[in-house]
Chains A and B, each alone.
Chain A
């Protein structure tokens, strides 16, 4: 199953990932990304990849 990584040091709280995949990404009170899941089902991969690529600072990764 694809695994998710998030780099909270890089995250700037732009929030695009949450618009793209609100079931996977959220934000904490300090404005940093929170992973709601660490693995996703294969059929969700495309949608989550697109959400990850909407990050302006490349803080998000979808691993095989």
Chain B
């Protein structure tokens, strides 16, 4: 692209920031503008439920891009202003402050928002998605009161682990009997339930929440089995939904995210890209459109979009091996592939308590490797990722992982 071209990136979280950086690494010489709704300098989200919430990391440690670094990269920051409307034909994005930006290519990276609590309570009920969410939750966790976490997925489990480490009594509630089982399968998911119990965190799984009422310090969580839990603080971690409302009326196909081709381009406009949690792209290999809310996917789509903008004659498809991690209590959990698409699995190593160091290896009926879940064993995860990327069989994966020097010991 010529140096007079303009790329506007809408969204200043990890996908947007990494895209701006990657445009420079890819040699894009033109103007790059990064628009963000929040006035905070860009920050990273995974620590918000872990190290930042625990108080171990400060704001500097979660920074994604300083003002100085933005200047060095020649990236213009337009923070504290939301994008309101995209004019695809006119190649312009309208901002909430009344100004507009013209673009030759636009990258949509407005991410996803925490699904809000459906229960009206005056105070003390939190979601955790943004830095200000994390600050507010942290302030309430300083009170010596019981914590109820609604939602037993990754965010809920991480918040429960952090709150428990801060000395709070914690109960996690989820309508599923094995919440993490949705990702790793029911039988492996049971180990994650035991992980809560081993740290003194109670679980009420298989039970729904019918209401949350009261105020901070004095909340009542009513359950579908008639029980009531009292809590000082409630955290609602029930998923996220894409921030795509501002694109309704743009003419782009928006259905649970922006529908894209395999190159992360809108199916309606090749100079409109969508990345990160917002993108529902055509996933080669699965031959369907998928939307993935993982940090690594955000970074990978950012690089793909930047490459494709800078090198339109050398389009790169986004065909990832899915990867996500979660740090819960004394377990470092890493997941590669799509274990939920498997029909069987085998365990390697130890899945026992604090000394766990193990892998779960997943296969489909054809004997194809479908995923690997590791606990406290990054080496096995890296090997598993390689095996997934080269399309190995389950038997080959078991042989290679079983032959690792650290298999079964710690």
Interface residues of A (CB under 8 A from B): 12-16, 18-19, 22, 26-31, 45-47, 49-50, 53-54, 56
Contact = CB atoms under 8 A, between A and B. Distances in A.
Looking at chain B, what size class is its interface with the partner chain?
Answer: 20 to 34
Given A27-B382, A29-B404, A16 B323 contact: yes
Nearest to B327: A12
Contact of B385 (A15, A26, A29, A47): A15
A29 B26 CA distance: 33
15 contacts: A12-B378, A14-B334, A15-B381, A16-B296, A16-B323, A18-B385, A19-B321, A19-B323, A27-B378, A28-B379, A30-B379, A50-B22, A53-B18, A56-B46, A56-B295
Contacts of B334: 13-15
Contact of A53 (B21, B377, B382, B389): B21
A15 B25 contact: no
A6 to B, nearest CB: 14
Given A50-B303, A56-B325, 14 more contacts: A12-B332, A13-B378, A13-B382, A14-B325, A15-B334, A18-B382, A19-B323, A19-B389, A26-B382, A29-B404, A31-B377, A31-B378, A45-B25, A56-B46
Contacts, number: 63
Interface of B is mostly: helix
Nearest to A11: B378
B98 interface: no
B299 interface: yes
A56 B46 CA distance: 8
B405 interface: yes
B251 interface: no
A8 B145 CA distance: 38
A24 to B, nearest CB: 14
B210 interface: no
Interface string B28-47: 00000000000000001010
B406 interface: yes
A16 B299 contact: yes
Contact of B381 (A13, A45, A56): A13
B27 interface: yes
Given A15-B334, A16-B299, A56-B295, A50 B25 contact: yes
User: What 9 pairs between A and B have smallest CB-CB spacing?
Assistant: A13-B378, A31-B378, A46-B25, A15-B382, A49-B25, A27-B382, A29-B406, A54-B299, A50-B303
B379 A29 contact: yes
B192 to A, nearest CB: 19
Most B CB contacts (10 A, CB to CB) among A16, A26, A50, A56 go to A50
Nearest to A54: B299
A56 B26 CA distance: 21
**Which residue of B299, B378, B381, B404 has the most chain A CB atoms within 10 A of its CB atom?**
B378
